[in-house]
Amino acid sequence: MDKVIDFINVNRDRYIDEMKRYLAIPSISALPEHKGDVRKCAEWTRNEMQRIGLQNCRLEETPGHPVVYGEWLGAAGAPTILFYGHYDVQPVDPLHLWTSPPFEATIRDGEIYARGSADDKGQVFMHFKAVEAHLTQHGRLPVNMKFLIEGEEEVGSANLDNYIKGHKHLLTADVVVISDSPMFDRGIPSICYGLRGLTYFQIDMRGSKSDLHSGSFGGAVANPAMVLAQVLAQMKDKSGRIKIDGFYDDVVDLRPEERAEWEKLPFNEKKYKAELGAPKLFGETGYTTLERVWARPTFEVNGLLSGFTGEGAKTVLPAVAMAKVSMRLVPNQNPQKIGDLFEEYVKKVTPKTVELHITRMHGGKPWMTAFDNPYVQAAGRAIELGFGQRPVFNREGGSIPVVSTFQEELGVPCVLFGVGLPDENAHAPDEKLDLGNFHNGVIAAAYLYKEIGELKIGG
Amino acid sequence: MDKVIDFINVNRDRYIDEMKRYLAIPSISALPEHKGDVRKCAEWTRNEMQRIGLQNCRLEETPGHPVVYGEWLGAAGAPTILFYGHYDVQPVDPLHLWTSPPFEATIRDGEIYARGSADDKGQVFMHFKAVEAHLTQHGRLPVNMKFLIEGEEEVGSANLDNYIKGHKHLLTADVVVISDSPMFDRGIPSICYGLRGLTYFQIDMRGSKSDLHSGSFGGAVANPAMVLAQVLAQMKDKSGRIKIDGFYDDVVDLRPEERAEWEKLPFNEKKYKAELGAPKLFGETGYTTLERVWARPTFEVNGLLSGFTGEGAKTVLPAVAMAKVSMRLVPNQNPQKIGDLFEEYVKKVTPKTVELHITRMHGGKPWMTAFDNPYVQAAGRAIELGFGQRPVFNREGGSIPVVSTFQEELGVPCVLFGVGLPDENAHAPDEKLDLGNFHNGVIAAAYLYKEIGELKIGG
């Protein structure tokens, strides 16, 4: 590996120049006027993959923006990594809040500012450079690799599921690697091995055919806004525990090793509370804040609407009331099953004084690769070699739907190998990537291929 | 009274022709472009009052539209009625829903259709004709009368309170009579002797300084929409009883006579439920629907707003949640005191996980004249003589703020002597007044003056 690492160190400045060109392409997938730029970026990606020595590099058409595919499969007997990333970026509004133009990458204080720097072109490019270093120095990779770089991640990956389902053989692998997430904190590299799932609903209640005068009719009929409040209040007890019957049946308990690992993390509750501007932190009794966010399910009200909401006072008895609600799920909760339990419970606690309508919006399964999984541990060693310190093994509270798709369709573990930072402004003005982390990330990725290459197939 | 009644019967058609001219003036107080029409209508009112023989008829200027005043004070030793009404009308939008033009009064099926026919020019004119009949036939009224006809009722009577407070001596009376409300039902004349009061609030809660991602932060902080639901749910118990400490302390219990009177009313719960389109009627345990609406206080949620309320799903953990809430009050609840109890209770049940802000919007006192009050009973006899049947004595669930003002500033009882109908479309297209009820109302008003004139001062 010495030659590979030396090469990476020597070429540090060239990488940045090349990355700037990648970041200059405004591949905003959400905006039709940038359709040509998105395609140009797909082509740039393919050309770069070809240039560094990957094989069979090509654009694969979809009903939307194309997927870019490339591979290197010369490591007979070694495992195969499927690397997933995306070359499309978020819109840049509001433009006036950017310190430098979003598509003219600019370095300030060791960070490169540009749309796509962290999310996700910079992190994709990091792997290109690690591949390039291996192939330049040894003419081969220590592992088999397939690259799948999509162009619709920022618009919901509308065509990716179908693409994966239709190309299972092409995408066969032993592990999926994704670099599209931040590390735990600046100076604290991390490997994320679990994500929460989701199930999302709209509840509509109707108490009368039209809004009523609260003087003339108040007292005679149920107020749907009040009934909605009463129903929502019955979703949780005072300790923050969700009261839906059977809700916790499939929840995998936190393992003592995980709790011990997280306990050691430099997490400052006071600072966290101050950053959120919360009067007080609150969550399920018996768990720490990180445990609550990473490993415990939630019930949230995402929206409420009923009656008069303008300035001033209107004495209306609303005809209807609406809530958007969602539950974050943890392994092994199934969104379909939890959704059924939710609907059953809401029907049980809603009185007959209102008409109830429940709409199931969307959902996603929770995901977890055991943190002692060999691929996860290999990624940990690679991070330690790249960053000079052992990474923390964490989970995240959010969902990355594609991770579940890979798990379900390809049946392989997934490693989230992200080098962004929590303050990277991924979907905001002044998106940035720390160049030190980028450089360490290239080295870590180079080690990742070696570490995984030395594992037996299947881990 | 025979000559008076004969005169009224003989002049029936002339009344309608005259009323049409009154209804032709588009005295829409809410629209600046009709300011001249409102004044013209005030002058028409004054001229008509002068013509029928009232004295000292004049426009009294206010910062808004003028008040019209007139009097007849020749009944030495008899009580004095202060009649209150208004000559302004609601806007007419949407115009295309009117069957005939709103300011060209048109008779169909025994009803006169025009803006202002029921609310309130038609009912004011009914009293003018009763006065005219007495003065024409006897040269005197059987009672002293003061008329106060305002031009801003439909825009909240902004200047009336000050006018009354500044003219207490001028307006001194023994009883206030208002004809600006519907009777209980077609064929069921009524005397309304009680109204509910009101106190209205906005509750704002904040859980964080900005909206949060429900994946990244869900579980760590309280959700203000959920906290709001929990707080609202604690306002009432399952039997519909309000849980605010001390809320019922000053509530005057329904008297057995009232309950017996209302029990006899032809009220069809099934029809009522169907008209409202309510799946089920619901209210405080132990009371009938009419009792709940007329004589029991309520707590209503008038509006709810939090987080994402558009189409689809957004996984937001809202920073803020807002509710508009109000309580209808019954004698002898005081809006100020109830408001204090409400604020205290909300503060008590709101957890420290959110910042709470309560805004007191507006309120009005409940009002009641005992239904065995001599003036109320005199009005009942007058209605019976005019309509050929004993009226029902009811209360209403809504509020008429001016009634409380009269009660407080002049300290006299008030009689609501309305001959409209529940389907009169007072603020909607095709407003109408039943001509049979109008005619009977003129006769009833003529008897009202006589009946009150025969009472001792003070009832």
Is B153 labeled as catalytic in the residue annotation?
Answer: yes
Average pLDDT for A143-166: 94
For the beta carbon of residue A104, count every other beta carbon within 10 angstroms. Answer: 12
Subunit contact B226:A217, Cβ cutoff 8 A? no
Q: Which residues belong to CATH 3.30.70.360 in chain B? A: 197-251+297-364
Q: Which residues in chain B (280-339) have CB-CB distances under 8 A to chain A?
A: 280-284, 289, 292-293, 296, 298-309, 312-318, 321-324, 326, 328
Q: Among all chains, which residue has been given the structure tokens 């120049």? A: A17
d(CA B381, nearest CA chain A) in Å: 26
Tokens, residue B421: 């109908």
Reported CATH class of domain A197-251+297-364: alpha beta
Q: B198 with B302: CB under 8 angstroms?
A: no
Q: What is the ipTM of this complex?
A: 0.88
Q: What six digits make up the tokens of A252?
A: 């995998």
Of B216, B226, B357, which to mutate for an interface test with A (greatest number of A Cβ within 10 Å)? B226
Instruction: Confirm or reject contact between A271 and chain B (CB < 8 A).
Output: no
CATH topology for B2-195+366-453 is Aminopeptidase (3.40.630)
Per-state percent for chain A, helix, strand, coil, to nearest 5:
35, 25, 40
The arrangement of strands across the sheet holding A432-434 comes to A106-108, A111-113, A432-434
- The pLDDT, as a whole number, for residue B459 is 61
* A–B CB contacts, 8 A cutoff, strictly below: 278
Choose, out of B214, B216, B294, the residue to mutate when testing the contact with A (most A CBs < 10 Å).
B214
Q: Where are the beta strands (DSSP E) in B289-373?
A: 298-307, 316-317, 320-329, 355-364, 367-368
* pLDDT at position A459: 60
The pLDDT score that the predictor gives to residue B300 is 97
pLDDT digits (tens, 9 = 90+) for A10-37: 999 999 999 999 999 999 999 999 999 9
- Per-residue pLDDT in tens (0 to 9) along chain B, 459 residues: 999 999 999 999 999 999 999 999 999 999 999 999 999 999 999 999 999 999 999 999 999 999 999 999 999 999 999 999 999 999 998 899 999 999 999 999 999 999 999 999 999 999 999 999 999 999 999 999 999 999 999 888 889 999 999 999 999 999 999 999 899 999 999 999 999 999 999 999 999 999 999 998 999 999 999 999 999 999 999 999 999 999 999 999 999 999 999 999 999 999 999 999 999 999 999 999 999 999 999 999 999 999 999 988 888 999 999 999 999 999 999 999 999 999 999 999 999 999 999 999 988 899 999 888 999 999 999 999 999 999 999 999 988 888 988 988 999 999 999 999 988 988 889 999 999 999 999 999 999 999 999 998 866
Q: Do A309 and B296 touch (CB under 8 A)?
A: no
Beta-sheet strands, E only, within A170-319: 175-178, 190-195, 197-206, 212-213, 298-307, 316-317
Distances (CA, A) of A324 to A84, A94, A352, B40, B308: 32, 28, 21, 53, 8
- As a whole number of angstroms, the distance between CA B185 and CA A123 comes to 75
Per-position DSSP letters for B161-198, written without gaps between them: HHHHHHTTTTT--SEEEE--SB-SBTTB-EEEEEE-EE
CA dist B194 → B190, B370, B423 (Å): 12, 8, 21
Instruction: Tell me what the pLDDT averaged over chain A comes to.
Output: 95
- Inspect the interface and report whether the beta carbons of A304 and B232 lie closer than 8 Å: no
Chain B residue numbers touching A305 (CB-CB < 8 A): 304-305, 309
pLDDT at A271: 94
Taking the C-alpha atoms of residue B219 and residue B315, their distance in angstroms, rounded to an integer, is 13
**Mean pLDDT value across residues A174-179:** 96
Per the structure block, which two tokens stand in for A424?
């990277």
- CB of A382 within 8 Å of a chain B CB? The answer is no
Residues in chain B within 8 Å Cβ distance of A209 = 276-277
Considering chain A, tell me which residue range(s) the CATH 3.40.630.10 domain(s) occupy.
2-195+366-453
The chain A residue lying nearest B354, using CA atoms, is A279
Contact across the interface for B200 and A315, Cβ inside 8 Å = yes
Nearest by CB: A225 against B212, B277, B304: B304
Among all chains, which residue has been given the structure tokens 């029990």?
B263
CB contact under 8 A, A215 and B398: yes
Which residue among A218, A229, A309 sits closest to B305, beta carbon to beta carbon?
Answer: A309
Residue A458: is its pLDDT beyond 90?
no
CA distance B421 to B399: 18
Mean pLDDT within A113-134: 98
B contacts of A354 (beta carbons < 8 Å): 279
Asked if the C-beta of A260 comes within 8 angstroms of chain B's C-beta atoms, the answer is no
Neighbours of A222 (CB within 10 A): 23
Which residues of A are identified as catalytic? 88, 153
- Distance from the Cα of B269 to chain A's closest Cα (Å) equals 10
Of A420, A432, A435, nearest to A12 by C-alpha is: A435
Cβ–Cβ contact A126 with B under 8 A: no
The owner of tokens 């009794």 is A285
Say what the pLDDT of residue A399 is: 84
Task: Pick the residue from chain B with its C-alpha nearest to A216.
Answer: B397
